[in-house]
């Protein structure tokens, strides 16, 4: 049985997800959502994304995909091909009873895995920042909206934003 693959991402209205390997906004509400959506699930991310976080996230089995054959980090599974990363995620999900494998970034990994994802959990940040990392364009018609929540800017959130959950139609 194949465990569903989901992507969790925060992107600006212009699809920017980061700049210089860092987040470019402060949205505490979104960070809580990311934690809730990833907790107890294998979390696959690229090396640069992992290094921007700086450590394995508690309560999640982290799989890092990198071309760097010398890369290693405590508490993570390191893989060197997309196929190996996805296989590791599936194995971890099955062994630990997780209901999904999560793609957590960055831009290259989203681009490679979006065609395989069953669900998308997106946070649209209503801003137009400059950035060097973009979430890939995707055919909106291939996805069914299952949930939408509008949020205003607040003391813990620098910008207004929308949580949008999508399920693949095909």
Q: Can you tell me the distance from the alpha carbon of 45 to that of 62, in angstroms, rounded to the nearest whole number? A: 8
pLDDT (tens digit, 0 to 9) for every residue of the chain, 170 residues total?
A: 799 999 999 999 999 999 998 889 999 999 999 999 999 999 999 999 999 999 999 999 999 999 999 999 999 999 999 999 999 999 999 999 999 999 999 999 999 999 999 999 999 999 999 999 999 999 999 999 999 999 999 999 999 999 999 999 97
pLDDT of residue 23: 85
Quote the domain boundaries for residue 118. Answer: 5-168
Number of structural domains (the chain) is: 1
**CATH label of the domain that carries residue 57:** 3.40.430.10
- Residue 67: count other Cβ atoms within 10 Å of its Cβ: 9
């Amino acid at each position: 049985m194949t465990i569903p693959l989901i992507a969790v991402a925060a992107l600006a209205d212009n699809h920017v997800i980061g700049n210089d390997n860092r987040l470019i906004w402060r949205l505490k509400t979104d960070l809580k959502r990311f934690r809730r959506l990833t907790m107890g699930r294998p979390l696959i991310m690229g090396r640069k994304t992992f290094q921007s976080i700086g450590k394995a996230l508690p309560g999640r089995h982290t799989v890092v995909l990198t071309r760097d054959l010398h890369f290693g980090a405590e508490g993570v599974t390191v893989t060197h091909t997309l196929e190996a990363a996805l296989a590791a995620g599936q194995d971890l999900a099955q062994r630990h009873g997780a209901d999904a494998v999560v793609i957590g970034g960055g831009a290259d990994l989203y681009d490679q895995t979006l065609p395989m994802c069953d669900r998308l959990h997106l946070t649209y940040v209503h801003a137009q920042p400059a950035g060097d990392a973009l979430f890939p364009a995707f055919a909106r018609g291939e996805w069914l909206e299952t949930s939408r929540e509008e949020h205003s800017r607040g003391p813990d959130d620098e910008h207004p934003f929308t949580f949008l959950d999508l399920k693949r139609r095909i």
